[in-house]
Amino acid sequence: MSQSRPAVEQISGVPLTTLSEDEQMFRASVREFAEGELRPRVAEMDEHAKFDPNLIRQCFDLGLMGIETPEEFGGAGASFFTAILAVEELSRVDASVGVFVDVQNTLVNNALIRWGNADQKKKYLPLLARERVGAYALSEAGSGSDAFAMQTRAVDKGDHYLINGQKLWITNGSEADIFVLFANVNPEAGYRGITAFIVEKGFDGFSVGKKENKLGIRASSTNELILEDCRVPNENVIGELGKGYKVSIETLNEGRIGIGAQMIGIARGALEAALAYTSERQQFGKPINQFQGVQFQLAEMATELEAARLMVYNAARMKDAGINFVKEAAMAKLYSSRAAEKISSLAIELYGGYGFVKDYPVEKFWRDSKIGAIYEGTSNMQLQTIAKLLIGK
């Protein structure tokens, strides 16, 4: 496989010497897939807001859907950092595919690897590594940033639970067969009644509702889930009853690094496009990248990307090293989402009128970047987390 380095690597990337040989080879293979198979499909998937099912099969075949999953369960047994590299490389071409792989690895698989019991791991992890898409169902219409205000209820019926409620904004909702879903088994206990369940698409009483028509990451499905006396067996409780709040918080802490990787991928794609265009676009008899004003803008974009990328990589390395990374993950998500929006916006301006039309890629990078300040914790929630950890409260 080709391991060629695009010019932008020399401008804005962490030097390849910071990656192991295996990480370099993995990143090169993901990039080859993204360029050869994904890029030709991006515009059509965005226009029709539909994920090409052939790409789903390819993501499984390449091992992208079980990167951290232990080899005994059919996964690659690689590091969290390796998953972050995959999300970045895919998002450089299409953030919809980036988040598709991200949710599978950093949220769904992660929750089962960390909190699932032996039987759950044996049953579900091989499926998620080989053929079944997963989704993470926490948000509701009335519980976004205040996730613990959820209204979905689970009632103990002896050998099973009956779950009733609605979930909203569920990424991978259209494609998923396996859901890590949260419901309250004891509303009187408040958030201490929240419990995590494994819910399969085929369970009685479960259905996938409306698919949202979104500004960005349009090929990524975002759906409502409807549970009407959904029957879930007792053995599908993840972790302890009433400890779902812990599962959700700690899983999302890792997921935020994944969103940071998505954002730096978007930023890289926008910067690469801007570098290419400004070297080709002629005005006043020379390429516009020969004008100092344009050079300064490109330099600002590259510097913002470098800072964001280092923050995301640092948080991922800390996670793998077993070091507390919560503050760093919040900082990485906050900063990278801002950087992606800024860099893609500047790319549009450098393209001029062409940047404002869908025939060119930069307007999509900007549309895709906006979600980074919203999902898996808004920017205000990241600021709150950072501030609390700084002052020790």
H/E stretch holding 209 reads strand 206-211
- Mapping DSSP to helix (H, G, I), strand (E, B) and coil, where does residue 183 land? strand
Q: 31 and 115: one domain?
A: yes
**Opening angle at CA 190, ends 186 and 193, nearest 5:** 40
Read off the tokens for 318: 């800390």
Q: What is the mean pLDDT of residues 161-189?
A: 97
Does 73 map to a domain? Answer: yes
Q: What is the mean pLDDT of residues 103-120?
A: 98
Q: What pLDDT digit, counting tens, does each position of 342-375 carry?
A: 999 999 999 999 999 999 999 999 999 999 999 9
**CB-CB contact of 156 with 79 (8 Å):** no
Q: 379 and 350: one domain?
A: yes
Centre a 10 Å sphere on the Cβ of residue 71 and count the other Cβ atoms it contains: 11
Q: Distance of CA 372 to CAs 264, 336, 385, Å?
A: 10, 8, 16
Q: Distance of CA 124 to CAs 20, 76, 89, 118, 370, Å?
A: 30, 15, 27, 10, 33
Q: Minimal CA–CA distance to 340: which of 260, 278, 282?
A: 260
Q: Minimal CA–CA distance to 166: which of 184, 144, 150?
A: 150
Q: What is the mean pLDDT of residues 173-195?
A: 97
Say what the pTM is.
0.94
Position 10 pLDDT exceeds 90: no
Range of the domain at 234: 135-242
Q: What is the mean pLDDT of residues 318-337?
A: 97
Position 17 pLDDT exceeds 70: no
Q: What is the mean pLDDT of residues 206-215?
A: 98
Does 170 map to a domain? Answer: yes
Q: Minimal CA–CA distance to 271: which of 372, 357, 340?
A: 340
Give the distance, in angstroms, between the CA of residue 120 and the centroid of all CA atoms in the same chain.
24
Please give the span between the terminal C-alpha atoms of the chain, in angstroms, as a whole number. Answer: 50
Read off the tokens for 240: 């302890």
Q: What pLDDT score was predicted for residue 7?
A: 38
Contacts for 363 with CB less than 8 Å, ≥ 6 apart: 348, 355, 356, 357
The active-site residue, picked from 140, 224, 304, 376, is 376
Q: Which of 242, 277, 297 finishes a domain?
A: 242
Q: What pLDDT score was predicted for residue 353?
A: 97
Position 376 pLDDT exceeds 80: yes
Q: Which of 196, 217, 242 finishes a domain?
A: 242
Q: What is the mean pLDDT of residues 329-353?
A: 98
Q: 365 and 264: one domain?
A: yes
Q: 150 and 215: one domain?
A: yes
Q: 53 and 115: one domain?
A: yes
Active site residue 376: yes
Nearest-10 crossing angle of helices 95-102, 362-369: 40
Does 2 map to a domain? Answer: no
**CB-CB contact of 214 with 375 (8 Å):** no
Position 267 pLDDT exceeds 70: yes
Q: 121 and 211: one domain?
A: no
Higher pLDDT, 193 or 21: 193
Position 2 pLDDT exceeds 60: no
Q: What is the mean pLDDT of residues 63-77?
A: 98
Q: What pLDDT score was predicted for residue 393?
A: 64
Q: What pLDDT digit, counting tens, does each position of 219-256 carry?
A: 999 999 999 999 999 999 999 999 999 999 999 999 99
Beta strand extents in 37-177 (DSSP E only): 134-137, 153-156, 160-171
Q: 120 and 158: one domain?
A: no
